Structure 1
Amino acid sequence: MDQTVRCYLDDLVGAARDVLGVELVGAYAAGSVGLDAYQPGRSDVDVALVVVDRLDVVRRRELVARLRHEALPCPARGLELVVYTRAVAGSGTPEPGFEVELNTGARMPFRATLHPADRPAADGRFWYGLDRSILHQNGYALLGPPATEVFADLRPDDLHRLLVEALRWWLALPGPAAPEPSGDGPEPAGDPPVPGAEDAVLGACRSLVRLRDGVWLSKVAAGQRVAAAGAYPELIARCVAARAGGTAPGGAEARDFQGWVLRRVLDAG
């Protein structure tokens, strides 16, 4: 683990313990840190805290105040933190179920949500169940028992539904004018690069690998596995290179690939 991130996570857990005391029973690094794929300058720091029981609003607000970037500077693009009760973490529910959601960082829009109902539906409600599934397999324990003992995985039907929701959400994001994805076409002519399209492509790879192979991989590792099976190798290679500073793929090309993945995920249901 990056040493700067390691020190930051230690400070974060210490600050959370100051606020929550014995209510805090676990802290887990997720995302790129949990998947051993952290890229300085690009990756976020994803953390899940687990508490004994529901938190009152005062405690939730105090936690946000102590952990936001202005109080505890995040060395990454930003911090994405979610707090769950022990019951929710171990339930396998597909629902958001969080106590606090905090996004904060020098290069990340600030968000502090204290109730799941307050999160805009347009921002997606699939993230949390999928993140807890990743934590079940790959969470890195900063405090408390191993993540696999704390976070339950999703049921297969819930996993499938959330993966479909995620793929459709990514496809619905605004972008340059492009034809509806056919899922079987070559790179569209005159398709300009779209920053961030590489993450949409590699994220779709990760969904496909989880459904087919039962494992959560980093975006890059998932892309390499899909390419090794013969699907869109040139596009995926360019997406991997784009994460290291190369040129992003075009928006229509990325949408075509996402459509190809969505069709296969739907067929698997």
Structure 2
Amino acid sequence: MQAWEILDTIKNKYIDLLGDQFVGLYVHGSLAFGCYHPLKSDLDFIVVVKTKLTITEKLALLTVLEKNYERAPLKGFEMSVVLAMHCRHFCYPTPYELHYSMMWRDTYLKEPSRLCATDGKTDPDLAGHFTVIKQCGIVLYGKPIAEVFGEVPEHYYFKSIFNDIKDAPEMIINQPTYTILNLCRVLGYLRSGKVMSKVQGAEWALKALDLRWHKVIQCSLDNYRSFVLDTNVPINVRIPFSAFMLNEINQCVESRKK
């Protein structure tokens, strides 16, 4: 698979650039869950280092990603560089050294140094990424996961995945597949305690939720698995579905507080 070939190229370049301070490279997201799609997924990975990086080192890491841009999937890369001490001793929101994703590419092309600020950067999403790595992450290089990543408290994992659906009523209009699958995996986690991919969340919802919602869930799942866009997700059901799911999610949250 080309995704693994690209990641292997990046890994080898990072070994050369980082040397002894390179602790490891850990794949999460759809590749780790086994539901990667070249048009619907990005390549998600965490780079762990021993010590803080210089701006020169950060720029060199970003250059490697840019040189592989043409080979990357449509959604590109999502990469964070994190100090080993913050992986082992988790804090929220988690500090990071460097972050890159497609939403930052224009900034990188115009002014690369803007991505290389030295201090004070934190990312609540890292709680979710670390949790997935602990459950099913793949070591592409470096130390075993259990030696590098400490436990992430469940409430921080929930905060991380809730960020993906907090604006669901607005997002479901233009990004129905992404929003519907995320709503399913969040509710699935709250009810079952299982960390799920988007696909696993939809599969859970088809078994757990009322039949009236099955069409919108199945359409979204079919979209994700195929080369189809969002056009076949029923428009008239999108907002009612998001309202129903957010209500169910909020009820689960309230019941956990009791």
**1:28–1:47: 8 Å Cα contact kept in structure 2?**
yes
For residue 80 of structure 1, what is the aligned residue in structure 2? 78
Counterpart residue identity of residue 46, structure 1: D
Query: Take 1:34 and 1:6, find their aligned partners in 2: how far apart are those partners?
Result: 11
1:234 correspondence with 2:215: yes
For residue 264 of structure 1, what is the aligned residue in structure 2? 251
Residue-pair matches, total: 239
SS at match of 1:40: coil
1:198 correspondence with 2:177: yes
Query: Take 1:130 and 1:148, find their aligned partners in 2: how far apart are those partners?
Result: 16
What is the TM-score normalised by the length of structure 1? 0.78
1:90 correspondence with 2:88: yes
SS at match of 2:165: helix
Residues 160-183 of structure 1: CA deviation (Å, up to 9, x unaligned): 444444432x337567xxxxxxxx
**1:167–1:204: 8 Å Cα contact kept in structure 2?**
yes
Query: Take 1:74 and 1:98, find their aligned partners in 2: how far apart are those partners?
Result: 26
Percent identity of equivalent pairs = 20
In structure 2, relative to structure 1, the CA distance for the partners of 1:158 and 1:198 (3 Å cut) is same
In structure 2, relative to structure 1, the CA distance for the partners of 1:167 and 1:41 (3 Å cut) is closer
Matches within 5 A, 1:69-218: 70-71=67-68, 73-77=70-74, 78-104=76-102, 110=105, 113-115=115-117, 117=120, 125-168=123-166, 170-171=167-168, 173=170, 194-218=173-197
**2:187–2:245: 8 Å Cα contact kept in structure 1?**
no
Query: Take 1:27 and 1:118, find their aligned partners in 2: how far apart are those partners?
Result: 20
For residue 112 of structure 2, what is the aligned residue in structure 1? none
Q: CA RMSD in A?
A: 2.5
Q: CA deviation at 1:90?
A: 1.5
In structure 2, relative to structure 1, the CA distance for the partners of 1:28 and 1:161 (3 Å cut) is closer
Counterpart residue identity of residue 223, structure 2: A
In structure 2, relative to structure 1, the CA distance for the partners of 1:82 and 1:257 (3 Å cut) is farther
**1:196–1:248: 8 Å Cα contact kept in structure 2?**
no
Query: Take 1:21 and 1:259, find their aligned partners in 2: how far apart are those partners?
Result: 46
Query: Take 1:21 and 1:57, find their aligned partners in 2: how far apart are those partners?
Result: 16
More helix by share: 2
Unaligned runs of 5+ in 2: 109-114
Query: Take 1:219 and 1:174, find their aligned partners in 2: how far apart are those partners?
Result: 16
Q: CA deviation at 1:208?
A: 2.2
Residues 146-199 of structure 1: CA deviation (Å, up to 9, x unaligned): 32432223213333444444432x337567xxxxxxxxxxxxxxxxxx442111
Deviates more, 1:57-66 or 1:76-85: 57-66
Counterpart residue identity of residue 263, structure 1: N
Counterpart residue identity of residue 233, structure 2: A
What is the TM-score normalised by the length of structure 2? 0.81
SS at match of 2:64: helix
**1:94–1:154: 8 Å Cα contact kept in structure 2?**
no
Deviates more, 1:57-66 or 1:151-160: 151-160
Counterpart residue identity of residue 116, structure 2: L
**2:81–2:96: 8 Å Cα contact kept in structure 1?**
yes
Counterpart residue identity of residue 179, structure 2: A
SS at match of 2:47: strand
Q: CA deviation at 1:37?
A: 0.7
Unaligned runs of 5+ in 1: 120-124, 176-193
For residue 248 of structure 1, what is the aligned residue in structure 2? 233
Counterpart residue identity of residue 168, structure 2: L
SS at match of 1:215: coil
SS at match of 1:34: helix
SS at match of 2:46: strand
**1:198–1:249: 8 Å Cα contact kept in structure 2?**
no
For residue 19 of structure 2, what is the aligned residue in structure 1? 21
